[in-house]
Structure 1
């Protein structure tokens, strides 16, 4: 029997839902508590530098894997977020940051209020160690480190951990004109509704990720500039423009750059966010001897434009109810020539398109306890953009429900139930190692902030 014990899981969810907490307010966040306890708060108080950590672990089971498949890694695919069954060390993060005193939090939001008149310098640094670090690596940077150059089949079988540095960037605020924020280095793009890792303040209400998240770029290397265009009763409007080396790349092998652009609108009281983000650039490999898969599947002798668009938003109806929604569209150019080769499907690649929509509602039952439900639809008729998690051609659908319980300032628990089903274009079956078109998955995640 490979079925999840749904009744048992339901009892666990119900027990968590009715837990009584004596605290009248949300727990005081524990981020940075370990460093401050060991070394005091001088670094943060006098220099504005914060040091904190996050451990993200989970226990996962689905109803499609065999016993032998569960002993290997990635048996939950194409579900992403926690792809292994059993106990998974998802990620251990170390963050060292000096935030800017400016008009913009880079990649996140423009800020209301008076424009600062002083120059400011800052930086962001993140180390990620664990199973999920393999998806946060950057070509030409941490991808080639010794511990990261592992045989993929063996890494899957052994559930190997990886080490990534997805953020290593300098930041600056320049008060000229409307004021400008600059970021230069390696950084997570922050595109789309879900932005890793699982910061307490993030809009990531669930353990598992949407298919839209899988389709969106992760890291980039280059320069990003942001400014605030409006700050008045109509709202706060910010613009960011960046030039980068491509998807997950420091050493782009096609000698062309990619463009990052985002428009971010906020209500004056910050109760509503709307973002439009786009990334454009040639993403083909120029040579068979240097294929940067999986971020680039194509080999071609001319530029092949790839574009990704995301329109996403968040709205708080009141102090209890809030909602997120996202629409994405993507296109990879292809000319159909025999010299244009897809490493999966072969020569003659003629292009691919994909799109998706997802929405989630959250009810804040207590300051330390919230419930969420999410629905999503994602169409990948060419089986292109979810590679390597899946190459199945068709439409993915999922319903997810879960809760978040902040046990205290250092520990949060997130149980989740998710049901996925797939409408195939041909005969593909993406679940159960190619046997099934549906999957029920149960997850319980622990987030440890320190």
Structure 2
């Protein structure tokens, strides 16, 4: 949920990095904003950067991205521009020779992303989440993974339609995923997985009892498999 709704998919820009000390890295750069390739005059350049520190069996990093960005359209079809800031903390640790644990925590804030249909006004919105990963190497070609995630859409601006956010309650999303990574060859990898999602998001005003199953259920179970070809 955090990767899909709380983080940008792409950044376009430039970044410089340096290592002022052993096992310590720093980076700083500029981008065109969230998921923006062209300069469409809707927002200024954003700033991104981070710090990373490595120990013998673990790595900690703190990254940020902030700047004025395109955040939606007003009631008259005009683009809205406001500050969007995201801070991400990442931690990775080798628990054993075959077991790796990773944690990612996100905190985000966006101007004028929460809508109120009663006052026709817009206000700032926040979202945050914590994702835990465990990966275990079973053999040379096979590994197993588990992900436990909690995402909090505090003002219901990231997942539910922003214009109706004042009519939505809840905002917590939890998912548990278990799967396998099978590397058939140097080019092919297959990844079957089972996933359970739950949310307390609902809206009595809009007759929406849940966030899943065409907005009729508060949980869902998914079985899936994907194939990755590297070239």
Equivalent residue for 1:43? none
1:352 matches 2:125:
yes
Tell me the secondary structure at the aligned position of residue 217 of structure 1. Answer: coil
Equivalent residue for 2:146? 373
1:401 Cα shift?
Answer: 0.5
Tell me the secondary structure at the aligned position of residue 87 of structure 2. Answer: strand
Equivalent residue for 1:383? 156
Structure with bigger helix share is: 1
- 1:52-76 CA-to-partner distances (Å, cap 9, x unmatched) read xxxxxxxxxxxxxxxxxxxxxxxxx
**Larger radius of gyration, structure 1 or 2?**
1
Structure 2 CA distance for aligned equivalents of residues 326 and 382 of structure 1: 21
Q: Is the 8 A contact 1:275 1:311 kept in 2?
A: yes
1:370 Cα shift?
Answer: 0.9
Q: Is the 8 A contact 1:246 1:252 kept in 2?
A: no
Q: In the TM superposition, what are the counterparts of 1:255-274 in structure 2 within 5 Å?
A: 255-267=43-55, 269=56, 271-274=57-60
Equivalent residue for 1:230? 21
CA RMSD in angstroms comes to 2.7
Residues 341 and 275 of structure 1, relative CA distance in 2, 3 Å threshold = closer
Structure 2 CA distance for aligned equivalents of residues 222 and 346 of structure 1: 38
1:254 matches 2:21:
no
Structure 2 CA distance for aligned equivalents of residues 379 and 341 of structure 1: 14
Unpaired runs of 5+ in structure 2? none
Structure 1 CA distance for aligned equivalents of residues 102 and 126 of structure 2: 24
Structure 2 CA distance for aligned equivalents of residues 341 and 365 of structure 1: 46
1:363 matches 2:136:
yes
Equivalent residue for 1:45? none
Q: Is the 8 A contact 1:325 1:358 kept in 2?
A: yes
Structure with bigger strand share is: 2
Residues 435 and 289 of structure 1, relative CA distance in 2, 3 Å threshold = closer
Q: In the TM superposition, what are the counterparts of 1:26-41 in structure 2 within 5 Å?
A: none
Equivalent residue for 1:316? 94
Structure 2 CA distance for aligned equivalents of residues 243 and 402 of structure 1: 36
Select the residue among 2, 5, 11 that pairs with 1:220. 11
Q: Is the 8 A contact 1:245 1:252 kept in 2?
A: no
Structure 1 CA distance for aligned equivalents of residues 63 and 120 of structure 2: 32
Tell me the secondary structure at the aligned position of residue 39 of structure 2. Answer: coil
Q: Is the 8 A contact 1:361 1:372 kept in 2?
A: yes
1:437 Cα shift?
Answer: 0.9
- 1:93-142 CA-to-partner distances (Å, cap 9, x unmatched) read xxxxxxxxxxxxxxxxxxxxxxxxxxxxxxxxxxxxxxxxxxxxxxxxxx
Structure 2 CA distance for aligned equivalents of residues 245 and 344 of structure 1: 31
**TM-score for both structures, normalised by structure 2:** 0.83
Equivalent residue for 1:130? none
Equivalent residue for 1:295? none
Unpaired runs of 5+ in structure 1? 1-210, 292-298, 335-339
Structure 1 CA distance for aligned equivalents of residues 20 and 54 of structure 2: 12
**Number of residue pairs matched?**
217
Equivalent residue for 1:282? 68
**TM-score for both structures, normalised by structure 1:** 0.44
